[in-house]
Each structure stands twice: as structure tokens, then as C-alpha cells.
Chain A
């Protein structure tokens, strides 16, 4: 799994950062998304997918299958 973030689209709703704080944070000033681990460990994949689906702005995308082939 690879997380792709489009900070130009992010509105800083904080849905991802509050749901999976070990993977997502927000910029301390702008409050746009910061992906702490773009190739997250398999045990977080479900939570990451759910957070991406709950993101209102469409700023987040996950590429790849559940196998984190690119780590």
C-alpha cells in the first residue's frame, strides 16, 4: 500500500489525523495533511483505507493492493 496525499486539495478536516494518528498528522502551521508513513505497515491498512474513505476533500488516495509491495 502506498498513500498519496494532495495537499493542494486538503481542507484540514483532520479526519485522517484523528483516526490513524500513527500514519497521518497535520502540518503545525497550515494544518494540511502530513503522511508520516507513506508505505504503512499491513496491520494499519484497514484503518488507513477507512480514513481515506472518510476524508471529505478527496485529498487522499491509496495505491496498490493490500500487499505493501513497495516497502
Chain B
């Protein structure tokens, strides 16, 4: 048996602000190489913009079935049954589920309705900082609070039940390598909760996303089953709070660790939308995404056999000179371009528009109301969380002089 070099990854516990240095040469050569993944299986690694975009954009040749981050989840079996999880479906089966989300999460008129909810959530979180003991962890008390509140309000999950999602996410992404079959019990409390929630909304519809999904789908040829609704909303919640808060906290560290960046945003909070977009380009999908070839094919001339796994190094691709001449530079005023930080193809982030609204409001909120904000630890002392594939900071330890009124 040949052993392949390991998938280049940021060292454990180190925050992935930049892709590991190996990627620069790899993507410049456009080479597709064989690597061994942390999950234990071998895969082809694609690290340039054109290649990553090609694979993610072609759901016919490259299936999402193994799960988008299975290559960094040693306990997860990429061959396990899909179990109605839309992130692992392909083709018409996936589109049938996926189509339900856009009217709830990304239609421009729906977004306009949701923006005040996001702004209110951000302002409440900022009010909550008044009088807080300092230093204060803005990851838990700002980023995660905002992302959790927004998705919980959307789905209609009351405060006292939100911990279920934290517990489940932790169990789901446990890096210590739980066997897949052990995940059942870990997911059960959330499953039971969501089952009751779906039943309640069927009986008495409200204006929440679950009720809207049920109503939207009622006339469909094959309406969504309870199990499908549970899997859709469970996934939405877990990815929604975890990935968005990880990006926001990572972005805050990027801005606060370089005073000139923070001062620029404070001087011109109108830069918040492009700053948010740049955070996603810079930090999005640091683990890369996994696909599986459905047929014998090639990428950049490299033969790939049906059944082979392919890892797409998104963070590397977003630095490619084919995309941007200065991709290694964090430029908060950069015009949003076709970066792959929200993924690409039919599986591109389902919450990307509401994520943009949240990241923008959260960055602008701190820049306008807490301009004295500062980190109390050097960046090198802030660790990466090891209980999530979102690879966000474990903390954003901060202090400030005052929180300005709304």
C-alpha cells in the first residue's frame, strides 16, 4: 500500500487565517495530487480556482453524497446512508428539497423583511455588552448569540431549547473520532425536539420557517415528510449558528488584530458589506469541501476514477491569482467577486444571503457603537475550536471603554 502525503491543513488549534503555505505552489502548478485525509481515506486534492469551481459546479460528475466535510471527520462514514440530509443529495432529489429554502431565506423581498429582525438582534447583543465584566468573550456573547438568535427566531425555537443545538453540533463534529453508529444517541434529543416542533406547526401554523415550508410545499407532487422537515431545519440551525458565528468571530479577529483595519471600518462603517464579503472570501471553508466522482473523468488532465474522493481547497482557490492579482491581501473595500467562500454549485450555502446580512450588521454594529473595542490577547494566543468543522476561534477576548447608544 502506498502512503500519500497528508492533506495540508493548519496545525491543530491554530486559527486558519491563511491556507497552509504548501498551497501556493500547488495551485500555481494546477496539479491535482493524491493525499491522505484526516478521516483516513485517500482523495484527490484540487487547489486552484478554476479546478475547484469546475468540480463544485458539476454535480453530475461529482456527487455531494459523502458529506461536504467528511474528510476531516474521522468518525463519520462517507458511505453511510444519506438519511434525507439535503446537503448529501444530488440532482433532482436535491433540487426538490433545496428549492424550498430560497423563498424563506434569500428572496430579496423576504430578505428586506428579515433585515429588521437581524438589526434588532445585533442591537440587543450590543446593549447586552453594556456593563458586562471585561474582558468579555465576543465569540459566545456576540457572534454566537447573534447567529443563534437569528436562526432560532426564524425557525421559532424558544430560548430555553437552543442549547440542544449547541450540544448536538458538538457531538456531531466531535474531532476525537466517534464511530458513526454512536451518533444516533447524540442526535436523539434534538430529533425528538424537532419532531414535536414540526407536529406543533402542522397543527397550528405560524409565521416561522417551519410553518412556511409546510405551507409552501403542501401542493407539491411529493410534499415534505416530517423526517425531511426535521433534517432540513436541524441542518439549517446547526450550520446556521456554527458556521456564521465562526466566520464573524474570525472576521472580528482579522479586523481587531490590525488597528488600522479596525479604525478604517469605524471611520467608514459603510464598508461593512464589502468587509463582510471579504471575510467570507478570506476565511470561508477552511477545511475545504469533499465530493466523489460519479464516473471516470479528469480534472486538469488528471484521471480520476468513478468512486474516487476529491477535496476542493476553497480557501486556497480564493487566493488564486486567476481570481485576484492580490488575493493574499485582506481588502475590506474589495468589490465582491465570484469567490467560492460560500461554496459553489447547487450546494452553495443555502443561507448565504441571510449570512451576508448578519455579518454586515454585526460588523457595522460594533464599529459604530463600540469603536473603542480592542483585543486583550495577541492573536497567537487565541486558539481554534476543535469541536467544529467550521474552524472558528475558541474566543474573541475583548475590552472597550463604552458602548454608544443606538
Which residues of chain A have a CB within 8 Å of any CB of chain B? 8-9, 11-15, 17-18, 21, 25-26, 28-32, 50, 53-54, 56-58
Contact = CB atoms under 8 A, between A and B. Distances in A.
Interface in B170-215: none
Summarize A's interface: helix, strand, loop or mixed: loop
6 contacts: A11-B99, A14-B106, A31-B102, A53-B337, A56-B343, A56-B348
A1 B106 CA distance: 27
A56 B108 contact: no
B212 to A, nearest CB: 12
Contacts of B344: 56
A58 to B, nearest CB: 5
B106 A31 contact: yes
Contact of A26 (B107, B216, B337, B345): B107
Interface of B: 57, 95, 98-99, 101-103, 106-111, 216, 336-338, 342-346, 348, 350, 352-353
Contacts of A57: 345-346, 348
Contact of A11 (B57, B102, B107, B338): B102
Contacts of A54: 336-338
Nearest to A14: B106
Contacts of A21: 108
A31 B348 contact: no
A14 B111 contact: yes
Given A29-B103, A50-B337, 19 more contacts: A8-B95, A9-B346, A11-B95, A11-B99, A11-B346, A12-B102, A12-B107, A13-B106, A14-B106, A14-B107, A14-B353, A21-B108, A28-B107, A30-B102, A30-B103, A31-B99, A50-B338, A56-B342, A56-B348
A53 B348 CA distance: 14
Nearest to A55: B338
A14 B110 CA distance: 11
Given A11-B95, A14-B111, A26 B57 contact: no
B336 A12 contact: no
Nearest to A17: B108
B375 to A, nearest CB: 33
A58 B345 contact: yes
Contacts of A17: 107-108
B353 A53 contact: no
B277 to A, nearest CB: 11
B338 A53 contact: yes
A29 B102 CA distance: 10
Contacts of B106: 12-14, 31
B323 to A, nearest CB: 10
Contact of B348 (A13, A18, A29, A32): A13
B273 to A, nearest CB: 11
